Amino acid sequence: MSPTVLRRVQIGLLTVGIIITTMMATMVAGAYRNDALINSDKATTVAEVTSAGPTKASVSFSTPDGMFHSPRLGVFYPGGLTEGQRISVDYSRSDPELVRVTGRDASLSILPALSVLVYSWLVIGGIMVLLAEINRRRGNGRSSSVSPPVTASNTA
C-alpha cells in the first residue's frame, strides 16, 4: 500500500470516528433537551406498558383532559420495563409525545454514549495501527536499495 493510500485510509477512519463522536454528543444533548422540555411543563400520570424491549418500550396513558396518548417513539429510558406493567411517567403537557419514566433522566444516556465512543475509537485505532504496521513490514511496497556510506578510504 502506497503512503498516499495509507494516509487516505487513515483520514477516512478518523472521519468515521469524528462522525460517531458527533452522533453520540448529539444523542446526549438531545436527551438533555427533551428532559428540559418535559421539566418546563411537567405532568405526571400512570401509564401502561403496551410493549417492551431492551431499547424501546411503548406506553399508553390518558391526560386529565380525557385524551388518550400513545407516543409513537415510546417512553424515554425504558430499561427494565415489562409488557402489561403500570408505571408512573412524566410527560410534557404541551407535547404529550415527550414521555419519560418518573425518576429517570438524561444522565442515563451518558454511559451508552461513552461505551459506543470507547469501542469505536478502539476499533478505529486498532485498524490504523494494523494498517501502519502492515505497511511498515512491507517496506512501503518498494525494495530498499541502500548504497554503502561514503568514507575517506573509498573516495581516493
CA–CA gap between residue 106 and residue 102 (Å, rounded): 12
Whole-prediction pTM: 0.77
Counting Cβ atoms within 10 Å, is residue 142 exposed (0-12), middle (13-18) or buried (19+)? exposed
CA–CA gap between residue 113 and residue 131 (Å, rounded): 27
pLDDT tens-digit readout, 19-70? 999 999 999 999 999 999 999 999 999 999 999 988 889 999 999 988 999 9
CA–CA gap between residue 63 and residue 33 (Å, rounded): 23
Beta strands in the chain (DSSP E): 42-52, 57-62, 68-69, 86-92, 99-101
DSSP H/E element including 110: helix 110-137
